[in-house]
A and B are shown apart, each in its own frame.
Chain A
Amino acid sequence: MDKVVQKAIAKDKRWRAVYIACGLLIVALTLLMGAFLLYQGSQTFLKAHHSVWEFLFTSDWAPLDKTGMFGGKVGAAIYIVGSLETCLLGLLICLPFAIGSAVFMTEISPKIGEKFFRPATEIYVSIPSVVYGWFGLTKLVPIIRNAFHPKMGGFSVLAASIVLAIMIFPTITTVAADAIKSVPNSYREGAYGLGATRWQVIGKVVLPAASGGILTGVVLGLARAIGEALAVAMVIGMTRSFATSLLSPTSTLTSEIAADMGNTAQGGEYNLALWSMALLLFVISIVLIILIHKLDNGKKEK
């Protein structure tokens, strides 16, 4: 065979190996990440001999902060509850706006939707999360303080939820809008043909038909909210107690990690407990990601 051809074939094989290696690298990276976090996060239970029950369901948080010394308390329930309540409340605040906007930009005024709303959601996404946090800290917290005069100033579950709601707004809106757009026109025509008003078409036909896609958006938003760290940390107040009301401060998994990971002794009980919280975040996120994957596949099969 011709030398040029032989070289080309050999080169082809080498490039193929390079591309496949890139694919493998990504899988390896993800698995490695899981393995590292699993190893590091399980030390609280394996090395410091705390029970998973204690970690998840009790709220005595007094881990020892000295390398190799164990015997404190690692109940992380305050942080877990803090994360859950801010996320769910954020979602609750966000949903009417996100779905309303999605309907607005697709069904009510597609022109404004394409021209202004899509770029607007892209800008919402592109604003860094610390900037949202800073905005919450300098604008939102004072507003809450002046409106309700809570004891701890405006740092509160409410402030964190509103910041989260703004941050997940573009995610849910975009996914919901795409879902609504992909509802076949024949559905709408059928309903209009029966004399339904636009709202009836939207409420009874379009939204139910798009509900699967909207759900994907909600889960995506949830995934983003539960993992948001600095913006929440800036406005939540970071007190080590359960929130007694929407206006009282508390802590979340992410805010606690962000605040203390760098200040605790490596290998100490405190540090290990923080890694367990990171592992918990990782597990929650993976569960949500797999859920999204399932939802997406379900849609494809339909």
Chain B
Amino acid sequence: MMEDKITIKKLNLYYSDFHALHDINVHIQKNEITAFIGPSGCGKSSLLRSLNRMNDLVEGCRIDGSIKLDGTDIYNGDLDVTVLRQRVGMVFQRPNPFPMSVYDNVAYGPRIHGITEKKELDEIVETSLKQAAIWDDLKDRLKKSALGLSGGQQQRLCIARALAVKPEVLLMDEPTSALDPISTSKIEELALELKKNYTIVIVTHNMQQAVRISDKTGFFLLGDLVEFGETDQLFSMPKDERTEKYITGRFG
């Protein structure tokens, strides 16, 4: 048995009075893609956003239970939130490049984390863009505004931006929901490529996407983790009746 990258234990999450996640237990393994699926409002995004504490931004959000990254609890102060977020990167539903040049977008993270030397930055920008398979598209327009790129390019730029701070885990919150089919398949290929070096957790409303790229899948419903297991198994022989109903499209 491989060691967990992230261990979620008895996690409960509340938004003020609303109990959004109930007693969640998940083991996320290194160099795998773990997918969270379920109808909207089931809590899958909330869980994802707990993993790098983006939920801290939401007023009234409260958590108990534990989330451990390589055995260190991420909520009890041993790990500063900025360090956590550097180690656990995130790609959002809507591509969100900053209103600055392509280069400055990718260099943003490294600069924040104290890298000032031009040569080093150049290198990081190049490798990150290459890793995100967009270097060839963008190498001649590094100084142009990132807002001029197409949606698919923007999303890959955002992945490059996340990779530039050398994270260990990459969280993807429905990364293709705003993209066309061609861009979507490019992002999926990219995810498969990236899992060699990174641990990936992806939230998707697209079950086919989960089947295509993930190793493990968790199915959420109304704040419960109904079922979690090998993706092949979950989709071919679901253990829970509700999972079956969902994957055969009978509700949700």
A interface residues, Cβ below 8 angstroms from B: 1-2, 4-5, 7-9
Contact = CB atoms under 8 A, between A and B. Distances in A.
Contacts of A7: 114
Interface string B43-55: 0000000000000
Contacts of B82: 5, 8-9
A8 B85 CA distance: 14
Nearest to B113: A4
13 contacts: A1-B80, A1-B83, A2-B83, A4-B113, A4-B114, A5-B80, A5-B82, A5-B83, A7-B114, A8-B82, A8-B112, A9-B80, A9-B82
Contacts of A1: 80, 83
Contacts, number: 13
Q: How large is the interface on B (under 10, 10 to 19, 20 to 34, 35 or more residues)?
A: under 10
Contacts of B83: 1-2, 5
Contacts of A9: 80, 82
A237 to B, nearest CB: 56
Given A4-B113, A5-B80, 5 more contacts: A1-B80, A2-B83, A5-B82, A7-B114, A9-B82
Interface of B: 80, 82-83, 112-114
A7 B82 CA distance: 12
A15 to B, nearest CB: 14
Contacts of B112: 8
Nearest to B81: A9
A1 B72 CA distance: 14
A4 B83 CA distance: 10
Contacts of A8: 82, 112
Contacts of A2: 83
A292 to B, nearest CB: 28
Contacts of B113: 4
B108 to A, nearest CB: 14
A1 B83 CA distance: 9
**Nearest 9 CB-CB pairs, A to B?**
A4-B114, A5-B83, A5-B80, A4-B113, A5-B82, A8-B82, A1-B80, A9-B80, A2-B83
A1 B82 CA distance: 11
A181 to B, nearest CB: 30
A11 to B, nearest CB: 11
Contacts of B114: 4, 7
A242 to B, nearest CB: 58
B74 to A, nearest CB: 14
A7 B114 CA distance: 10
B80 to A, nearest CB: 6
Nearest to A6: B80
A180 to B, nearest CB: 34
Nearest to A1: B80
Contacts of A4: 113-114
Contacts of B80: 1, 5, 9
A18 B80 CA distance: 22
Nearest to B115: A4
A8 B81 CA distance: 12
B69 to A, nearest CB: 15
Nearest to A4: B114
B242 to A, nearest CB: 41
Nearest to A7: B114
Nearest to B112: A8
Nearest to A2: B83
A8 B83 CA distance: 11
A7 B113 CA distance: 10
